Amino acid sequence: MNTVTIFGLTFNISPVAFELPILGGWSVYWYGIIIALGVLSALAYGIKNGNRFGINPDHIFDSFLVVLPCSILSARAYYIIFDPSGSSFSDFFNFKDGQGFSGLAIYGGVIGAVITIFIMQRIKKFNILAALDVTAVGFLIGQGIGRWGNFFNQEAYGTFTGSDWFGMTGNVIAREMGSRDLVHPCFLYESLWCIVGAVVLHYFSKKRKFKGQIALMYGAWYGFERTFIELLRTDSLMLGPFKVSSLLSAVLCITCTVLLIILFKRTKEKEQSYEPVFSDVDEITKTGENEVIQDNIPYEKEREN
């Protein structure tokens, strides 16, 4: 049992939810349960809203069965590549000490999911941009819920806050930081940002101007937050002297924001442009609806006779 204090509230929690009576006792962790809850919530959103995005819900479910395991493997590979502690691919599954996948990276999972969706699109023949739009909202739902697994593990926290009440600590954190001073609950910051983002993107998905808009908004929204929150964390994956997630987030945020501006501008220009279909309709717009069109005069005189 571990003790965690956050914003003055103290909890006694165990990272293990229960044990299965197999293989001498198989521990099931809260982390895994919460991650699974986040993933299933994202799937439920996709199935319920798929038709509105222009995606068959059956295609979403079929793709999910392939995307999920590929995302997990990609998240693990990403973690090992950038892990500063020197993890190697020989420890990929890490079954030897019973810990399993003790090290996953969100960006690795996102990259794996996007690549797999592109592959599934070739098989199922659905619109890739529409698929990425509905997936983007699902990502934020899953991330918002899944981050609470870090709370039970006392991880994904930041530097000291310097406050007597603002922040969190616990026996695991204190042991790692060498102090019982409060640290930034980065998992909480990201969870709240993702949940709010899911609501915002869901709202805009009903008013989207072009396919791919919601996916780009996800990149801008999540990238902005992760750029700064990652700078607070003490357990970041590194690329030389740089925090790789912070660097990648900044690039993602800027790129998606620029693309959104360009595409919104093009969409607006198309909405404002006028291309005549029939010459007589075009003539009406030039002379006014109340003026007589010359081609109609003979018909009017013939009718009077």
Give me the tens of pLDDT residue by residue for the chain, a chain 305 residues long.
Answer: 899 999 999 999 999 999 988 877 788 999 999 999 999 999 999 999 999 999 999 999 999 999 999 999 999 889 888 876 766 666 666 655 545 566 789 999 999 999 999 999 999 999 999 999 999 999 999 999 999 999 999 999 999 999 999 999 999 999 999 999 999 999 999 999 999 999 999 999 999 999 999 999 999 999 999 999 999 999 898 888 899 999 999 999 999 999 999 999 999 888 877 555 544 444 444 444 444 444 444 434 434 43
What pLDDT is attached to residue 90? 64
* Same domain membership, residue 134 and residue 194: yes
* Same domain membership, residue 251 and residue 108: yes
* Same domain membership, residue 293 and residue 245: no
Q: Which structure tokens are listed for 42? A: 């994202």
* Same domain membership, residue 134 and residue 160: yes
* Same domain membership, residue 260 and residue 290: no
Domain count for the chain: 2
Domain encompassing residue 280: 274-305
* Same domain membership, residue 301 and residue 220: no
What pLDDT is attached to residue 171? 94
* Same domain membership, residue 260 and residue 201: yes
* Same domain membership, residue 258 and residue 193: yes
What pLDDT is attached to residue 94? 66
* Same domain membership, residue 221 and residue 153: yes
Q: Evaluate whether residue 258 is within a structural domain.
A: yes
* Same domain membership, residue 167 and residue 53: yes
pTM: 0.84
Q: Evaluate whether residue 144 is within a structural domain.
A: yes
* Same domain membership, residue 216 and residue 196: yes
What pLDDT is attached to residue 255? 98
* Same domain membership, residue 296 and residue 218: no
Q: Evaluate whether residue 87 is within a structural domain.
A: yes
